[in-house]
A and B are shown apart, each in its own frame.
Chain A
Amino acid sequence: MARVWLFGPDVNTDQIVPGRYAPYMLKDESELRRYPFIEHRPDFAPNVRPGDIIVAGKNFGCGSSREYAPLALRMVGIGAIIAPLFARIFFRNALNLGIPCFTADLTKELADGDEVELDLEQGRITTADGRVIHLPPPPLFLREVWAAGGIVPFYRQYGRFPGEVGQ
């Protein structure tokens, strides 16, 4: 089972990892795993488990281009992020790092602390009381990048960028 971590709208990358906790500022860069939401939600990093999902309001990840924000979330094993709208740079960074992001508003349907089962293949969430929520399927070129494990493995495998087919 995965725990739901619920966040509001307009969560910015300074809230995910403040600039003062960037790898640039650290003696040991692996410390980054201790810092997601260090100030915005201090109970997150010590309690998050691999496979847990973030459910957020609109404009998740707005602000800075810092890839260490989604990288910190990957380091703690976030299984997916679901929000009705993602900030563009964050979405690309998460895609590039192989973190599945689904565009859907589940902030009313799921509550913080809910235990759910996430089926990435089927794009389906099953709640503890048996409700099934279908996630809208992302476009093919995004699914291909996730399937490869991120943009670097995708590029190494195919020697091209996503969406380049047939051009």
Chain B
Amino acid sequence: MPTMSEQILSRVAGRPVRAGDVVTANVDLVMVHDSLAPGIIRILHNELGADRVWDAQRVAVVIDHVAPAASVQTAEKQQEVRRWVRAQGIPNLFDVGRGISHPVLVEEGLAQPGMLILGSDSHSTAYGCIGAFGTGMGSTDIALALATGKTWLRVPETIVVRAHGTFGFGVGPKDLALRAARILRADGATYAAIEWHGVEHLSVMERMTLATLSIEMGAKAGIVPPTGLSVTGPLVPTVDADAQYQKVVDIDLSQLEPQISAPHYVDNVVDLSDLGQVAVDVVYLGTCTNGHYEDMAVAAQILAGRRLAPGVRMIVVPASAQALQRAASDGTLATLLAAGATIGTPGCGACIGRHMGVLAPGEVCVFTGNRNFRGRMGSPEAQIYLASPAVAAATALTGYLTDPRTVMDRSPAVAH
């Protein structure tokens, strides 16, 4: 019986397919962002000779990578992208401040279960949070998909990460994902898809934490079965008891400790308790991995009524305008600001090291994002530790990497 990838790719290939098959498939949705759009547009028109995208309704353009523009060059390129969107009659342009492509396309209902979604961004595995096959591709592949509505790919084998039990106090989805990276390593799921089982108690955006980090293990897609979600789509993939898996990784959530990915590789993961004292300059809460409302809420619960440690900067960049609005309406935002955090425009922020909090040589950052590669957020001499929002907030209070369980009230509201 088929895996979720086989179910979805059989639908878009128009025939039953199995892992290992090379297929040409119809694409349901193509996402293009500002960073690569100018190059994609050039390949589409100049190299492929296509005047129009194949279906303007199935294209979404998001200005999130340098939003708002940080230089005359980026401003001019964004202007060029907006003109192109108008000329093509593409209805779905999400401009500066709407947020990061991945949560935005889910919030807007454009990304749906059972779809094949291509994005010009490696974290397009994010769409697995609602049971879509989302995958990142480069500019030429995206241009070809825009021209033809099709792509080609090898149907992946599937690795299952199966969670058991529920998270202990102060531990959450980021710790699960980093634990999986610790086990599978950075190349452990290369050419394969990851299915995340046993996580139906998580919200959509918490599932996105798992789906986005799937690429950090090399995965082509990272799919969570859309169990318990009120979403509909062309196909609702289900976990088949008889599906053939390449590997199953079992993780007991109740035994999980806060996990830290230490510089400079995402799979360089240790228990927080195994690190010595690490002094931190910057706490950065944001990205498609952990810049969601839930993440700001966890941080606010830890920071409520307290102040950042002297000398620590805390930068919060919400993943989307919806997340920011929700945080503003229920007091989460006010709590973060009162503690001394500052807020950036919803978008990718400093995740790509281009603006809004770039790091200096020697600075140490605890980051809720997904990559701690050398130079990722600015200076190659900076140190980036990946951690959960709870660890980030606890660290902001003390000024060194801190186990959130040592600074949190044991109230049931703070599940993770």
User: Residues of A at under 8 Å CB distance from B?
Assistant: 10, 12, 14-15, 18-20, 22-27, 39-40, 58-59, 62-68, 70, 85-89, 92-93, 96-97, 141, 150-152, 155-156, 160-164, 167
Contact = CB atoms under 8 A, between A and B. Distances in A.
Contacts of B136: 65, 89
Contacts of A163: 22-24, 152, 154
A66 B354 CA distance: 15
B197 interface: no
Interface stretch (B103-111, B297-305, B308-316, B373-381): B373-381
B73 A26 contact: yes
B140 A15 contact: no
Contacts of A62: 186-187, 218
A70 B39 CA distance: 14
B116 to A, nearest CB: 14
Contacts of B24: 160-161, 163-164, 167
A20 B354 contact: yes
Interface residues of B, number: 51
8 contacts: A10-B187, A14-B374, A18-B380, A59-B186, A59-B187, A64-B121, A151-B144, A152-B140
A68 B47 contact: no
Interface string B248-272: 0000000000000000010000000
B140 A64 contact: no
A59 B215 CA distance: 12
Nearest to B189: A88
Interface stretch (B30-38, B93-101, B327-335, B390-398): B30-38
A47 B43 CA distance: 29
Interface in B35-56: 35-36, 38-39, 43, 47-49
B174 interface: no
B66 A63 contact: no
Interface in B217-260: 218, 220
A24 B35 CA distance: 6
A84 to B, nearest CB: 10
A25 B77 CA distance: 9
B218 A88 contact: yes
B353 A65 contact: no
A164 to B, nearest CB: 5
A141 B47 CA distance: 21
B106 to A, nearest CB: 19
Contacts of A70: 138
The 5 A-B pairs of least Cβ separation, nearest first, read: A163-B22, A67-B138, A161-B152, A93-B138, A19-B352
B289 interface: no
B82 interface: no
A39 B375 contact: yes
B345 interface: no
B22 A141 contact: yes
A20 B353 contact: yes
A10 B216 CA distance: 11
B405 interface: no
B373 A23 contact: no
Nearest to A59: B187
Given A14-B373, A67-B36, A93-B140, 16 more contacts: A24-B73, A59-B218, A65-B36, A65-B122, A66-B138, A68-B39, A88-B220, A89-B122, A92-B137, A96-B140, A152-B144, A155-B144, A161-B152, A163-B24, A163-B152, A164-B24
B151 interface: yes
B120 A65 contact: yes
Nearest to B351: A19
Contacts of B35: 19, 22, 24
B141 A92 contact: yes
Given A39-B380, A155-B48, A164-B152, A63 B122 contact: yes
A64 B144 contact: no
B223 to A, nearest CB: 16
Which interface residue of B36, B71, B154 has the most chain A CB atoms within 10 A? B36
Contacts of A67: 36, 39, 138-140
Contacts of B137: 65, 89, 92
B119 to A, nearest CB: 8
Interface in B117-154: 119-122, 124, 136-141, 144, 150-152, 154
B105 to A, nearest CB: 16
Nearest to A139: B22
A107 to B, nearest CB: 15
A88 B140 contact: no
Contacts of B141: 92-93, 96, 151
